[in-house]
Structure 1
Amino acid sequence: MLTDKEFLRYQRQIMLPEIGEQGQQLLLNAKVLVIGCGGLGSAVALQLAGAGVGKLVLCDDDIVEISNLHRQLSYRESDLGAAKAVALAEQVRQLNSSVNVRSVHRRMSLDSLLLEASMADLVVDCSDNFPTRQDINKACFSTKTALVSGAAIGWDGQLVYFDYKDSQAPCYHCLYPFTESSKATKCSEAGVMGANVNMIASLQSMLVMRAITEPETLNVGELIVFQGRTFTQHKFEITKDDSCAVCNKEVIHD
């Protein structure tokens, strides 16, 4: 049962028939793990906190640098040199003091990801490198924790929702069966439009909220590709790889 304060705070969201009081309660009860507190993760964390997601765990080993500020709008010049996970957690608390937020200022090993994913209802991959993304996929597959994965570079971005409880559904490794890319995949290497990062983060946030409140309406393993220069969006169905080293094996190897 929502309190009067909660109803007043989230009433514009509750008015949506797809959310309602029941959906808002699901959000308040949810625990979401956010990996990466850069352009995507910093925006996702604040949007989820604003929506009333009850528990957030924010993980990143990086510090705030001046080159971040054109797109990572959760941070201020006064945060320069601070740990991103810690600074972002403080921003979450200032936005919504009822959210239980915990920061993890270190690079997440597979063992750490397995532990954190096992305690979460959903994981949001906002990382910026393939090795971490592959470990997140392994951890979520092992713990059967739903995953919303996103990436943004240049003017473009993509996102996808994985439900590992469905044994016939694909995983991230089915889509990208490698740990390194020949193309520049970091903002520091290829450049990025700040507004594009926040666009993808907003789409990730909406996917997360729908996955919490109405998961049965989502298309599992559907890759959504957004092209910012043309303002176009395309969707592709990911095929499960029968030879996938992750989702067709019971044992996870480092």
Structure 2
Amino acid sequence: MIQQFSRTINLIGDSQYEKVVNKKVIVFGVGGVGSATIEALVRFGFKSITFVDYDRVDISNLNRQIFSKYANVGMLKCLAMKERIHEINDDIKVDYFIKKLVDNVDQFELSEYDYVVDAIDMITAKLNLIEYCHKNNIKIISSMGTGNRIRPDLLTITDVYKTKNDPLAKVMRRELKKRNVKKLKVICSEEIPITKSIRSENSSKSTPFSASFVPPVSGYMIAGDIIKPFIEGAD
């Protein structure tokens, strides 16, 4: 294992490395953003990872979700993600919850984690998770919209109240004000969405278009932002 992660260890030093990889992170939503965040942390050498999702791999996921392939279409995303993780590092401790997050945030014992990642699509679930973390002083970063965009260079990490050109962030700002959440670290895009989402004939849910590279870049940036504060001397 030391040889596997030697390039990262040499980059930041043994003591810093051990401090970082022993941190506990939980990721809600194993999609384009969440799966990339998880994989980046795994490849960095984190000794444990936890994630939450209830959905199954769909053929439409193959354009952006890092674990997806023809062979696992129909598989639970949590199981597909676990399989990919152990192909990278079989020694990592993997925990997962096949659950839909609604009003059950307290079931996840979030105080045990050093960082929470919100990569959920559903607004109500995002709000419930964020509000819980806010009230309990738990570090969280939330992913805003990555669909309908082709410019990963316009992704940025900022406060939700400083975002622009992001329809999801606009809704989140309005609803967070109602819940008295006055600040929230988010990753968002400053790119104006290039097209509107479409609504499926068989569903009331609006589906955004997506490119293969924007959601994963967002996930990698989240992983970097999680790691950065734990390294002494980081700006």
Q: Shorter-chain TM-score category?
A: 0.7 to 0.9
2:210 paired residue among 163, 170, 192: 192
Structure 1 residue 12 and structure 2 residue 7: aligned? yes
Q: Deviations over 1:81-104 (max 9, x none)?
A: 111012101211221112111111
1:153 paired residue among 147, 151, 157: 147
In 2: Cα distance, 1:65 partner to 1:105 partner: 16
1:89 paired residue among 82, 90, 114: 82
Alignment gaps of 5+ in structure 2: 161-168, 177-195, 200-204
With normalisation by structure 1, the TM-score equals 0.69
Q: Any idea what SS the aligned residue of 1:88 has?
A: helix
Alignment gaps of 5+ in structure 1: 163-171, 219-254
Aligned residue pairs total 198
Match of 1:139 in 2: 132
- Equivalent residues in 2 for 1:151-230 (5 A)? 151=144, 152-155=146-149, 157-160=155-158, 176-178=173-175, 184=197, 189-214=207-232, 217=234
In 2: Cα distance, 1:63 partner to 1:74 partner: 12
In 1: Cα distance, 2:225 partner to 2:114 partner: 14
**Does 103-112 or 88-97 show the bigger shift?**
103-112
Distance 1:73 1:174, change over 3 A: closer
In 1: Cα distance, 2:207 partner to 2:7 partner: 41
- Equivalent residues in 2 for 1:62-101 (5 A)? 62-101=55-94
Percent identical across equivalent pairs?
22
Q: Deviations over 1:216-248 (max 9, x none)?
A: 856xxxxxxxxxxxxxxxxxxxxxxxxxxxxxx
Q: Is the 8 A contact 2:64 2:216 kept in 1?
A: yes
Q: Is the 8 A contact 1:32 1:121 kept in 2?
A: yes
Q: Is the 8 A contact 1:43 1:73 kept in 2?
A: yes
Matched to 2:5, the amino acid is Y
Distance 1:96 1:130, change over 3 A: same
Matched to 1:39, the amino acid is G
In 1: Cα distance, 2:134 partner to 2:228 partner: 20
Distance 1:176 1:120, change over 3 A: same
Distance 1:173 1:146, change over 3 A: farther
Q: Any idea what SS the aligned residue of 1:145 has?
A: coil
Distance 1:61 1:150, change over 3 A: same
With normalisation by structure 2, the TM-score equals 0.74
Q: Any idea what SS the aligned residue of 2:116 has?
A: strand
Q: Deviations over 1:179-220 (max 9, x none)?
A: 8xxx85999623111211111111111111113335x856xx
In 2: Cα distance, 1:117 partner to 1:40 partner: 20
In 1: Cα distance, 2:173 partner to 2:142 partner: 12
Provide runs of 4+ in structure 1 moved above 6 Å: 172-175
Q: Any idea what SS the aligned residue of 1:102 has?
A: strand
Cα displacement (A) at 1:175: 6.3
In 2: Cα distance, 1:173 partner to 1:117 partner: 26
In 1: Cα distance, 2:170 partner to 2:111 partner: 19
